[in-house]
Copies of this chain bind each other. A is one copy, B any other.
Amino acid sequence: MSLSIKELLSAVREGSLSVEEAERALRAKPFADLGYAKPDLHRRLRQGVPEVIYGAGKTPEQIVGILDALTEGGQEPILITRLSQAAAEAVKTKHPIVYYPEARIGRLGDVPKPDGLGDIVIVTGGTSDLPVAEEAARTAETFGNSVVRVYDVGVAGLHRLLAQLDTLLRASVIICVAGMEGALASVVGGLVDCPVVAVPTSVGYGAAFEGLAALLSMLNSCASGVSVVNIDNGFGAAYQASRINHMERR
């Protein structure tokens, strides 16, 4: 059955589905138990989005095992984040994934047609922020969003940013990726009227303390409309931005 939970609950409320049937549907193997992992077979059902495998700390064998279970459950596309080149090669021998080395992302299945409210614009402070930005970009595309990339527009050269003002003002959601002092989030946040999701990166040295400076900076942004995800978490930013870009009346 492929009803979402909300549809199930509505059906129960309307009486077109008995409590027992609903219960059975939900009990029907919502996840596979592989011992070392319990991949979620209901995420699309429950949250309407592709399943995602966090690749770090998993062996290629474990990733293949999870892919086996998920594809059996009919889930696709499937995203694999933090996937090393070597692990990607190993996985490819079993599943026909596409691999984006800069983003360290693998994907099984096609990119869907964008169906969001508008563009997700991804801005970075510098060239070194690209891996995180690309992780965000590939994730957002896989989740059904059109993505515009505006890279290397840090505030030290404000004219580079202001030259893109038009693009920024047209954005539906902005993902702001910056390391060092992370000031880009505040400046962008003050210019636009759409939600900004800020991603501090571990780019920098010394008192950047592996992204801490940018993180604190973004959390204390004097501009409103900025919320923050974990350091280097391009995936998480894109996930949130995609949710926002798919808002609808409830």
Contact = CB atoms under 8 A, between A and B. Distances in A.
Interface of A: 5-6, 9, 26, 30-31, 35-38, 40, 42-43, 46-49, 52, 54, 56-58, 62, 117-119, 125-128, 130, 149, 151-160, 163, 166, 169-172, 180-183, 186-187, 189-195, 197, 200, 202-233, 235-237, 239-240, 243-245, 247-250
Contact of A158 (B36, B187, B218, B228): B187
A250 B216 contact: no
B243 A194 contact: yes
Nearest to A173: B247
Contacts of A190: 155-158
A156 B226 CA distance: 11
Nearest to A117: B249
A240 B223 CA distance: 11
A227 B224 contact: no
- 3 closest pairs, A vs B, by CB? A206-B231, A57-B128, A183-B183
13 contacts: A6-B169, A6-B193, A36-B130, A38-B153, A47-B192, A57-B203, A155-B183, A155-B187, A181-B217, A202-B206, A206-B219, A217-B217, A227-B229
A155 to B, nearest CB: 5
B119 A222 contact: no
Contacts of A127: 36-37, 57-58, 62
Given A36-B151, A155-B187, A172 B247 contact: yes
A230 B206 contact: yes
Nearest to A35: B151
A194 to B, nearest CB: 7
Contacts of A195: 240, 243-244, 247
Nearest to A13: B166
A222 B156 contact: yes
Contact of A219 (B26, B48, B151, B229): B229
